[in-house]
């Protein structure tokens, strides 16, 4: 089992990624990028393949090197904002139960998206918004840099070893690990490299997350897999 920095019972804070972790936005992201690609006469499948593993500006440089990156970004933001207003969204099972059970000041959102979009999606899915939300505009370095998670911890008044990170993507996992935090992976068919524990879904992680931050883990708790 990989050693967890906070396994001694010191973890008191939970830091959540948003898209793919709490909100199911895969179809929305795919549609936005396909629409953007068609606007520029590009292959939607190729653009989306690149977008999955790079940041927007890097995507533009690779798939549309002859286009003005500022214009490309403005077009993407326009489509994303429209999607927040009119797209179909759903929270992952267990998200509402988990977030509603956490004490104010004990959790935060750390996202590569922008705060107004997160708030829009949370409003439409009925999820509560915490006091601390670190978005793309709040940091100069995004994931996989440790900066976003370190900023969230600082704003909560927490030490890294007191924080449990919940992530669904390799870049977010790396960000949390580099910040010196315990990282659990969810909503992935297999354990991502480096995670301390893996759960096939967010719902499977709910009881364990609450047990870690609110008290001793009950004997026989099911649904988790320690990474060997």
Mean pLDDT of 68-80: 97
Q: Using alpha carbons, list the distances in angstroms from residue 66 to 4, 38, 63, 181, 207.
A: 46, 16, 9, 41, 50
Q: Does 17 participate in catalysis according to the annotation?
A: yes
> 14, 16, 17, 18: which is closest to 162 by C-alpha?
14
Write out pLDDT tens, residues 166-180.
Answer: 999 999 999 999 999
> Among 17, 24, 83, 208, which one carries the catalytic annotation?
17
pLDDT-derived band at 55, boundaries 50, 70, 90: confident
Listed in sequence order, the DSSP H helices in the chain are: 26-39, 44-51, 56-63, 69-86, 95-101, 115-125, 147-156, 170-178, 202-214
pLDDT in tens, 114-149: 999 999 999 999 999 999 999 999 999 989 999 999
Per residue in 195-227, pLDDT (tens digit) is: 999 999 999 999 999 999 876 543 333 344 455
Rounded Cα gap, residues 197 and 185, in angstroms: 6
Nearest to 178 by CA among 198, 193, 156: 193
Which residue in the list 19, 24, 83, 208 is annotated as catalytic?
19
- Using a cut of 0.95, tell me whether the model's pTM lies above it: no
Residue predicted with more confidence, 88 or 115: 115
pLDDT at residue number 9: 57
Here the contacts of 6-9 (C-beta below 8 Å, separation 24 or greater) are: 6/161, 6/162, 6/163, 6/164, 6/181, 6/182, 6/212, 7/182, 7/196, 9/216
Q: pLDDT: is 82 or 223 the higher one?
A: 82
19 classed as catalytic: yes
CB of 113 within 8 A of CB of 135?
yes
Residue 53 in this model has a pLDDT that exceeds 90: no
What is the structure's pLDDT at 114?
92
Q: Are strands 163-167 and 13-16 parallel, antiparallel or unpaired?
A: parallel
Could you give the CA distance from residue 145 to residue 139 in angstroms, rounded to a whole number? 10
Residue 163 pLDDT: 98
């Amino acid at each position: 089992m990989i050693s967890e920095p906070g396994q001694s019972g010191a973890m008191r804070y939970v830091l959540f990624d948003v898209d793919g972790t709490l909100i199911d936005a895969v179809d929305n992201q795919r549609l936005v990028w396909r629409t953007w690609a068609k606007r520029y006469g590009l292959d939607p499948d190729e653009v989306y393949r690149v977008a999955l593993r790079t940041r927007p500006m890097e995507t533009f440089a690779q798939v549309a090197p002859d286009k003005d990156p500022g214009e490309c970004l403005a077009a993407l933001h326009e489509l994303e904002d429209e999607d927040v207003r009119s797209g179909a969204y759903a929270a992952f099972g267990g998200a509402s139960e988990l977030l509603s059970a956490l004490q104010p000041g004990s959790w935060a959102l750390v996202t590569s998206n922008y705060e107004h979009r997160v708030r829009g999606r949370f409003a439409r899915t009925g999820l509560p918004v915490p006091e601390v939300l670190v978005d793309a505009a709040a940091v100069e370095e995004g994931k996989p840099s440790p900066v976003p998670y370190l900023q969230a911890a600082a704003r909560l008044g927490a030490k890294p070893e007191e924080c449990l990170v919940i992530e669904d993507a390799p870049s977010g996992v790396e960000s949390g690990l580099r910040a010196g935090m315990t990282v659990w992976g969810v909503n992935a068919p297999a354990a991502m490299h480096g995670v301390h524990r893996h759960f096939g879904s967010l719902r499977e992680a709910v009881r364990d997350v609450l047990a870690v931050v609110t008290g001793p883990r009950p004997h026989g708790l099911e649904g988790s897999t320690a990474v060997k």
